[in-house]
Amino acid sequence: MPIYTLYHDLGSTSAAPQAMLSMIGAPYRLERVPLYTPLHRTPAYLAVNPLGTVPSLLLPDGETVTESAAILLLLGERHPEAGLVPVPGSPDRPRFLRWLTYLSATVYPPTRRYYHLADHVAGAAAQAELRRTTVVEQTRLWAAMEAAFEPAPYLLGDRPSALDLAMAMIARLGAPESGFDTACPRLAAARDAIEAHPEVAPVWRENFPDAA
């Protein structure tokens, strides 16, 4: 049976694609590319992903997809029977695309910045200020998403979707002091629901061992 290869690292944005592969029941193997090591810059890995980031997904036909959100979209299209991504033309598709992109393009940048302050400014004082504005931005962005959802228990209703995986993953990567659990009780409940899924829980335990 054709097999996927997921280039990943623990506690990174490969967690959602990995959990989705498990939920689909697709055969896959993992290739670990530890973050912040020269392994990201080897010619072999740069041929897979020219930016040198994880995740990347090698498809059974030899094509590669990069970017966590794009991998989730593509897996949804390749495995419509799993029902984890609204297919093109379905009523939930626009909302799904909107919030998946929001998570990747709007929430994730300050989530990542928090851990890489020195990539933006030098000096302890400037970095402390950047940390503060970055936390404020995260809090504001999560609040806007909280206001847009009434999970029951999942974001799109009674069935889990790849949007739950992406949201839970980026929430787990967020700054602790952004107060996600208190400020976003509905999203936190949806996060807890997807994290309890039997195919997701083992992936999450491995990726986010500090999560409750």
Partner 1 sequence: MTEDRTIYTLYHGIKAGPAAPLALLDLVGASYRIVSIDTNALDHPTAELLAVNPLGQIPVIAMPGGRIVTESAAMMIAIAEDHPEPNMAPATDAPERPAFLGWMVYLAANVYPAVRRYFFSGQIAESESARDEVRRMAMKELQRDWQVMEAAFDPAPYLLGKASTALDLYTAMLSRWAIDQDWFHEACSKLAAARVPMENHPKVLPVWRENFLNFP
Question: Per CB under 8 A, does 133 bind partner 1?
Answer: yes
Of the candidate spans 37-45, 88-96, 160-168, 202-210, the one that interacts with partner 1 by CB under 8 A turns out to be 88-96
Cβ-proximal residues to 196 (8 Å cutoff; 6+ apart), any chain: none
Residue with Cβ nearer partner 1 (104 or 161): 104
Please identify which residue in 3, 34, 51, 176 interacts with partner 1, judged by CB under 8 A. Answer: 51
CB of residue 27 vs partner 1: minimum separation in angstroms?
Answer: 18
- Alpha carbon distances (Å) from 110 to 26, 39, 66, 175, 182: 32, 25, 20, 9, 19
Spatial neighbors of 65 by CB under 8 A, at least 6 apart, are 56, 57, 59, 71, 74
Note whether 18 and 57 are within 8 A (CB): no
Q: Which position among 15, 21, 141, 165 is part of the footprint of partner 1 (CB under 8 A)?
A: 141
Length of the chain in terms of residues written: 212
Q: Give the nearer residue to partner 1 in terms of CB position, either 71 or 193.
A: 71
Q: How far is the CB of 153 from partner 1 (least distance, A)?
A: 22
Contact between 149 and partner 1 by CB under 8 A: the answer reads: no
Task: Give the one residue of 134, 138, 161, 178 binding partner 1; rule: CB under 8 A.
Answer: 134
Q: Which residues bind partner 1 (CB under 8 A)?
A: 50-51, 59, 63-70, 73-74, 77, 87-89, 91, 93-95, 97-98, 100-102, 104-106, 108-109, 113, 119-122, 126, 129-130, 133-134, 137, 141, 144, 147-148
